[in-house]
Chains A and B, each alone.
Chain A
Amino acid sequence: MKVNLEQATVYRGKLFVSFMADIVQMLVMLAVWTTVFHRKTQVAGFDYPMMITYLILSQLINSVHGYNNDAERTISKAIRKGTIVFDLLRPVRYVQARLAENVGTTVIQVTFGIIMFAIFKFVIHDFGGPASVLYFLLFIISFAVGYFIMFSVSIMSGLLAFWMMNNWGLQTAKAAIVSFFSGAFVPLSVLPNWLQKVLDVLPFKNITYEPVMIYMGQYSVPLCLEKIGLQVLWAVILWLLSEALFHLAIRKVSINGG
């Protein structure tokens, strides 16, 4: 973890630029929704300030999660270049090691995120605070659990490189699907009913949508706890799945390059 923190600071330029790119994307979406709200006062139960709050927060979360993709890139790069040899040579459990690395970078990302949050809070009038201190604490927990879910999804998509050697296409598709299905671009409640039903049985909405809804105080406290319970369940299931996939993967590992 410390290593990655150091590596991340080596590449702080890169981190900063990609964060800026996320901000630009966020501003574009804010502009689009502002136009929509010129004609309407409500969309699927969201009024304008709510929508702004939702978008800013979900985008900030999404860009923090964006760094989960690093785990996936690390794995597929290690497989392609054959350096997976050294990961397997160490007396360290593979998936845990990737998590530790990832938490390292995430610390930086969260710091960026908090700074951005503060700036937006100051600049954008319609950006609302958390519903209450209690909701804010619940949000923190929900966000953290969502982080583990996202991490496991990335690990699994990265491990597929054992079978596909180059899974760049898959990663790109995964990034798009997860961003959309997690609710990073639009609140899931604006989507058609049938799609919402599908998303209810998938883990993705637990990554971004649920934490933001909790922050905004859209659920009663007992419902929040229920949602968080469900998140924890998903986190455990996906973690176990990624461990299982790892064991399956190393059984058939072939090492590139000598």
Chain B
Amino acid sequence: MTNVIDAEHLSKDYVVNLKGSSLKGMVRSLFHSEKKIVHAVQDLSFTIEQGDFVGFIGPNGAGKSTSIKMLSGILQPTSGKVTVCGLDPAKKRIQNAMNVGAVFGQKTQLWWDLPVRETFEVLRRMYCIPDDVYQKNVKEFMDYLGIEAFADQAVRQLSLGQRMRAEIAASLLHDPKVLFLDEPTIGLDVNVKVSLREFIKKINKERGVTVLLTTHDMQDIEQLARRLIVINHGEKVFNGSMEELTKRYAGQLRSFRFTLQEDAEKIELPERMVPYCSITKDGLHVTIQYGDPVEVTDLTAALLGKYKLADMEIKGPQIDDIVMAAYQG
């Protein structure tokens, strides 16, 4: 396996002009502005292998989009090195553009006034896509994503769901080796999300397109990503599989909930488990949050003998909670 993306100590700083909110501040900013340097991305290193599907997550403002823009040659890194398919994206912007496709969920890359079909035509010319490849891709994408139904409408008349399907198709017309998806499912309904996920999965599997996906929808990550990179405040905090993330951050995130037939106040756990559990009592209902090394079997064994339990519920760690824990470090 070869590395398609190789980032070494990547950093990007922005200079932001600060404007005072008072009238005085605004007048002053006319003459000289105070500057602040924002470290959007700091010392970010990672590699991605060909055909991999990587979820790139982090809270708002963590530097995800900035990183993606550096990988697609739009932004030049302040320091550090990055190669995509062996090219430096910022220096070889045009060659790099042939290798990558990108969707930015919050912006549109389609021409507002053109019908979808025409937009594809324009892209065909821009990327000099061979005729047979183009015909095959258009047919496949149109069929799979149901674009045919609105292919002759101007982009400005499309619903968000329709537009996003067109955006993703547009980003793949030229058979890119790498696909960057920056919040592709933002604001979409469940049906569209599901069909987009299936489509992306298929593209990754059948065509071996390497995908880097950022999203705030953890279901996207759960269903698609084979590996996760978590960044926060511009720095990488985690790089590994979902299982490893769970192991590292799940902590006391598993919970065991039950109802007692007697007063819950009396509940006590064996000494050795106490440091790893926290108990919340509410009348007859008890919730115990627990983590390694305590297992659910230990809990039931300890409790079943002593108390009369009705109704039990065991909950695994919720991905949203795990990710939140990871964000908080």
What sequence of 0s and 1s flags, for each residue 196-235 of chain B, a beta carbon within 8 Å of any chain A beta carbon? 0000000000000000000000000000000000000000
Inter-chain contact A89/B107, CB cutoff 8 Å = no
**A85 to B, closest residue via Cβ:** B74
Count of A interface residues, CB-CB < 8 Å: 24
Complex: how many Å from CA A86 to CA B101? 10
Tell me whether B126 and A92 are in contact (CB under 8 A). yes
Query: Does any Cβ of B come within 8 Å of A50's Cβ?
Result: no
Chain A residues within 8 Å of B122, by CB = 2-3
Q: Closest residue of chain A to B76, judged by CB?
A: A251
The prevalent SS among residues of A at the interface is: helix
How many Å lie between the Cα of A253 and that of B75 in the bound state? 7
B36 within 8 A of A: no
| B75 with A6: CB separation less than 8 A | no
Give the interface segment out of B92-100, B268-276, B281-289: B92-100
A25 within 8 A of B: no
B62 to chain A: closest CB distance in Å?
A: 12
Measured CA separation A253–B13 after assembly (Å): 11
B46, CB-defined interface residue at 8 Å: no
The listed residue (B75, B93, B109, B114) touching A255 by CB distance below 8 A is B75
Contacts of B109 in A (CB 8 A): 86, 89
Inter-chain CA distance A243–B160, complex, in Å, is 36
Nearest Cβ on chain B to A7's Cβ, whole angstroms: 5
Complex contacts, B73 vs chain A, CB 8 Å: 88-89
Q: Using a CB-CB cutoff of 8 Å, which residues 217-258 of chain A contact chain B?
A: 250-251, 253-255, 257-258
Q: Contact between B114 and A89 (Cβ–Cβ < 8 Å)?
A: no
A88 to B114, CA, bound (A): 20
B49 CB-CB contact with A under 8 Å: no
B94:A89 contact, CB within 8 angstroms: no
Q: Which residues of A contact B104 (CB under 8 A)?
A: 85-86, 258
Contacts of B94 in A (CB 8 A): 91-93
Contact B65 A258 (CB under 8 A): yes
Q: Assess whether A90 is in contact with B14, with CB atoms less than 8 Å apart.
A: no
Smallest CB gap from A92: residue in B: B126
B107 adjacent to A85 (CB under 8 Å)? yes
Partner of B127, one of A10, A85, A91: A91
Question: Complex formed: what's the CA distance from A253 to B111 in Å?
Answer: 23
Q: Bound complex: CA of A84 vs CA of B93, how far in Å?
A: 14
Q: Which positions 1-32 of chain A face chain B at CB distance < 8 Å? A: 2-3, 6-7, 10
Q: Are A85 and B69 in contact (CB under 8 A)?
A: yes
Shortest B157–chain A CB gap in Å is: 12
Count chain B CB atoms within 10 A of each CB in A6, A7, A253, A254 and give the residue with the most: A254
A250 touches B107 (CB 8 A): no
Segment 102-140 of A: residues with Cβ below 8 Å from B: none
Chain A interface residues (CB < 8 Å from chain B)? 2-3, 6-7, 10, 81-86, 88-93, 250-251, 253-255, 257-258
Known: A85-B74, A250-B76. 20 other contacts (CB 8 A): A3-B111, A3-B122, A6-B113, A7-B111, A7-B114, A10-B113, A81-B107, A83-B108, A86-B104, A88-B74, A89-B74, A89-B100, A89-B102, A89-B109, A90-B126, A92-B94, A92-B97, A253-B75, A255-B74, A258-B106
